[in-house]
A and B are shown apart, each in its own frame.
Chain A
Amino acid sequence: MALQVPDDCRYADSHEYVRPEGELVRVGVSAFAVDQLGDIVFVELPEPGSVLERGSSFGTVESVKAVEELYAPISGTVELRNEAVLSSPEELQNDPYGEGWLLLVRPSDPAQLDDLLQPASYRSKLEGS
């Protein structure tokens, strides 16, 4: 099964994606990571106003099989979190790039976006794994 890697996102090595939306970015986890986890039952996310530091853990995704930390792909402040995904974690499973987004973040250093993987690079990373 070919897993989606949308062209309008940038990707972290730890499989989080960042989608620029004006001054803000939307953060979620890639379809590949979701597939690896399997049946997701629980998502933990920081409150709006929390400060994210690139590379630091900001939450967890738990599946029946395993629990995985989420790592901030970019530094910034949480503007909004997806409350729907907290109460219905299957949203993340079903639509990781759409209804299953996690955070809306105001980046403190938008230049960090350039350090993330381009879709083509992320795709080849997945193919090599």
Chain B
Amino acid sequence: MAESLKRTPLNGACRAAGARMVPFEGWEMPVQFQGLVQEHRAVRERCGVFDISHMGVLRLRGDGAKDALQALVPSDLFRIGPGEATYTVLLNEAGGIRDDLIVYDRGRPEDTDGARDELLLIINAGCAEADTAWLRQNLEPAGLVISDRKADGVLLALQGPEAIGRLEALAAVDLSGLPRFAHRTFTLAGSAAAEAAGASAFVARTGYTGEDGVELLLDRAAGCALWAQLLAEGVVPCGLGARDTLRLEAAMHLYGSDMDSSTTPLEAALGWLVHLEMPASFIGREVLERQSAEGVSRRLVGLKLQGRAIARHGYPVLRQGQVVGEVTSGTWSPTLGEAIALAYVPADSTRPGTELAVEIRGKAEPAMVVKRPFYRRA
């Protein structure tokens, strides 16, 4: 099936930079370049760049765009204003998670004659088709126009303590007025390569690494030029492997592993996204209200393993020798030097300090419930 994999505009550039390519959600993507741990450390200590052009970017336009989308998500979208963004989830009727996404409020952009609201949605590659159909089905009757904002464009994540400074120096943009989760369209200038200079870039101070940084959406030529220039200036290209260890240290969920259509945000420890105090109704609200009142029977927690073996997706979680739950993600944390995991456990085993075990190749390896995130930047 390798021939049917989609390729991002940076596919060739990634290969040229030494990437090992793997299939991921229908795309051929770099899993690592020089080395996973090396890339991980570069992001924690300096700066790294990821090709995330496989992710979906949808544009929703129309009067009352937010009111319409509100019916599909449990987070109060009116807590953000133009230029701000929020992380949230799309729910099904059972309160299960269809996808997780970031909603960017674009206000009323000039090119819509100021007449229509615009939202951008960045969604998971593996859910893009289903999300698009779901949004069309639910939002087109409300008069919204849904389009693919990415097309053959490039989506980059520039992450790490030096990320902001590097982009400011390179493209002569001032990101000081761009707090976390804010976004704006910039014109790249300064020493930006010819193909990128003058290009317009959607820049958001968001990411999936637990570090400061930005995500950028550019057209194909500008994106390729910016990638090449960042690498030429020593920014470390990073693959999906480092992306996974970085997000897991920050205890950020991976859709399809840590949550799916059978888990609610309350079970997935995403209660902070559920704003039941708002009056608006949304799909799945009844289930979440019931769970909120009665409590959930299982919940996602962080685990630290005593030994070096990694508790991987699907491994059983044991309490006093009985299987009580399941690991959803696990890795060796390069920053902490410990094996960490996310797992669903019974509600009465979620308190930090609870002693559990994970069955790894037939052996019960001691594990302890710990606070999330595993890593928080200073």
* Cβ of A54 to closest chain B Cβ, rounded Å: 21
Distance between B67 CB and nearest chain A CB, rounded to angstroms: 44
The complex places the Cα of A64 from the Cα of B310 at a distance, in Å, of: 8
Min CB distance, B204 to chain A, in Å? 28
Are B308 and A42 in contact, CB atoms less than 8 angstroms apart? yes
Check if A91 is an interface residue, CB within 8 A of chain B: no
Report if B361 contacts A (CB, 8 A). Answer: yes
Q: Would A41 and B310 count as touching, CB distance under 8 A?
A: yes
Contact: B310 with A42, CB < 8 Å? yes
Complex Cα spacing A38 to B30, Å: 14
Q: How far is the CA of A60 from the CA of B309 in the complex (A)?
A: 10
Q: Is the CB of A41 within 8 A of B35?
A: no
| A38 contacts across to B, CB distance below 8 A | 32, 35-36, 241
Contact of B241 among A41, A44, A65, A89 (CB under 8 A): A65
Nearest neighbor of B22 in chain A, beta-carbon distance: A65
A53 in contact (CB, < 8 A): no
Tell me if B44 counts as interface (CB < 8 A to partner A): no
Assuming the contacts A38-B32, A41-B332, asked whether A64 and B308 have C-beta atoms less than 8 A apart, the reply is no
B interface size (C-beta, 8 A): 17
B312 at the interface (CB under 8 A from A): yes
Number of residue pairs A-B, CB distance < 8 angstroms: 42
How close is A83's CB to chain B, nearest CB, in angstroms? 14
The yes or no answer to A79 lying at the interface (CB within 8 A) is no
Which A55-72 residues sit within 8 Å CB-CB of chain B? Answer: 60, 62, 64-65, 67
* B124 interface residue per 8 A CB criterion: no
- Cα(A65)–Cα(B32), bound, Å: 10
B244's nearest neighbour on chain A, judged by CB, is: A64
Query: A62 CA to B32 CA in the complex, in Å?
Result: 17
**Nearest Cβ on chain A to B314's Cβ, whole angstroms:** 12
Q: Is the CB of B309 within 8 A of A42?
A: yes
**Nearest CB in chain A to that of B31: its residue:** A65
Closest B residue to A36 by beta carbon equals: B20
Complex: A60 Cα to B363 Cα, angstroms: 13
Partner of A64, one of B241, B309, B361: B241
What is the bound-complex CA distance between A56 and B131, given in angstroms? 47
Interface positions of B from 141 to 155, Cβ below 8 Å from A = none
Nearest Cβ in chain A — how far from B354, in angstroms? 24
Please, how many angstroms separate the alpha-carbon atoms of A11 and B181 in the complex?
Answer: 53
Interface string of B305-327 (1 = CB under 8 A from A): 00111101000000000000000
Q: How far apart are the CA atoms of A25 and B204 in the complex, in Å?
A: 58
Q: Give the contacting residue for A39; candidates B31, B35, B308, B339; CB below 8 A.
A: B35
Say how far A44's CB is from chain B's closest CB, in angstroms.
8
**When each residue 26-42 of chain A gets 1 if its CB lies under 8 Å from chain B and 0 otherwise, what string results?**
00000000000011011
* Contact assessment for A64 and B245 in the assembled complex, using a CB-CB cutoff below 8 Å: yes
Residues of B within 8 Å of A41, CB to CB, are 308, 310, 332, 339
Instruction: Judge whether A67 and B312 touch: CB under 8 Å.
Output: yes
A65-B36 contact given A41-B332, A60-B361, CB 8 Å threshold: yes
Query: Which B283-332 residues have C-beta < 8 A from chain A?
Result: 307-310, 312, 331-332
- How many Å from the CB of B359 to the closest CB on chain A? 14
Known: A38-B241, A41-B332. A67 touches B310 (CB 8 A): yes
Whole-angstrom CA separation of A67 from B309 in the bound complex = 9
**Residues of chain B lying within 8 A (CB to CB) of residue A67:** 310, 312, 361
- Report the minimal beta-carbon distance from A78 to chain B, rounded to whole angstroms: 19
Chain B residues, CB < 8 A from A42? 307-310, 332, 339
Q: Which residues of A contact B312 (CB under 8 A)?
A: 67
- 29 chain-A/chain-B pairs, Cβ below 8 angstroms: A38-B35, A38-B241, A39-B35, A39-B36, A39-B37, A39-B332, A39-B334, A41-B308, A41-B310, A41-B332, A41-B339, A42-B307, A42-B308, A42-B309, A42-B310, A42-B339, A60-B361, A62-B308, A62-B309, A64-B37, A64-B241, A64-B245, A64-B331, A64-B332, A64-B334, A65-B241, A67-B310, A67-B312, A67-B361
Chain A residues engaging chain B, CB cutoff 8 angstroms: 38-39, 41-42, 44, 60, 62, 64-65, 67, 89
Q: Which residues of chain B have a CB within 8 Å of any CB of chain A?
A: 31-32, 35-37, 241, 245, 307-310, 312, 331-332, 334, 339, 361
Which 3 residue pairs spanning A and B have beta carbons closest together?
Answer: A41-B332, A42-B308, A39-B37
